[in-house]
Structure 1
Amino acid sequence: MSPWPFYQWGLDILGPLPEGSGKPKSIPVAIDYFTMWMEAKPLAKTTGKEVAHPQANGLMERANKSLMHGLKARLGRERVGWVDELPNIMWAHRTMLKTSNSKTPFSLTYGSEAVIPAEIGMPTYKTIQVNEVQNEEEMRLNLDLIQERRETAAIREAKYKKKVEQYYNKRVCPVSFRVGDFVYRRNEASHVESQGKLGPN
């Protein structure tokens, strides 16, 4: 685990994707280990050389999977316009409650919950409760308490990881193989032509 926010980042390159407006073909993705804050920008294809992928880990794989799931859900069958949808998916990721620590990446980064643009123009409980006179003082208090919230989130995340590890280890059945043992090999169900990253699983 990362000891504090933005101390340690995971990096990966997601792609190749269908060519979007401006000719981007891939998405460099970075995620902070502590807050789970994700950064992703479309990247145009490099000239003549393929981009080397950094070594990804489990966190990056989950982040990439989440990003691809969001893109597929927003695009439907068209699979075009992913560049325009990327900021919406990033906003959704940053404001979604994480199971591991019961906080959003936005709140761990800025000390308060995000107000979505739709809430600004219409009365909701969150916007009605704002006191314009005391708002700045409340924001300063949130920033004063952010370290305590981050420590609480880190403790929750450590507990969650321990629980998941115990659950996983309970279900593991150790099996050993020797050279010459017969094993089952899974064949692909069909030999359909691959439709790339945005194709169906």
Structure 2
Amino acid sequence: MHADFENYLKTHTRLPEDAILRISGRATSRLLRRNEYLFREGETCRHKVFVVSGLLRTFSTSAEGAEHIVQFSPENSWTLDVESYDKQIPSRVSIGAVEPSTVLCWNRADFNTLLAEIPQLKKFSEQLIARNIYDSRRRILTTLSATSEEKYEDFVQNYPGYVSRLPLRMVAAYLGISLKTLTRIRHAQLQR
């Protein structure tokens, strides 16, 4: 059905083959063009999403038009707006493709059924949520206490493949610094 996703589950879980096929069978595949939205701010997030290939970004846009990137989701990662999905309320963020991407989507009812029927999936899901909380806490602490240079170094260290895949304006929007500051930091590093 969805071979790349099934291989991901085989690698990252101890789910039996029949459970993997059942999970995969409930997914709907969607192709996103570069800059196409999965959903926009103000819409309700109705799906859990697995990125098979490509790169997505979760972001909000200020009234002045400035983009604030909350997260990047590369291949073999999960994404959604958890608050909008859980509460079924309008999202405060948008999720869109940075590059052409293939995603798998599970609607809320189907995924909840899978969680109830497959305890190992529920445990794996809880582990992913915990890891996301740890990563978010680390990012918040870095954002609050690090210099612009330290933020960039942390980004490059933790996401080494992203710099070559992302426009600099998106890296700056993720780090919460200006494009001018990011350009200065990168130029200073080249001089060393």
TM-score range for the pair, normalised by the shorter chain length: under 0.3
Q: TM-score, normalised by structure 2?
A: 0.27
Q: TM-score, normalised by structure 1?
A: 0.26
Structure whose alpha-carbon radius of gyration is higher: 1
Higher strand fraction (1 or 2): 2
Higher helix fraction (1 or 2): 2
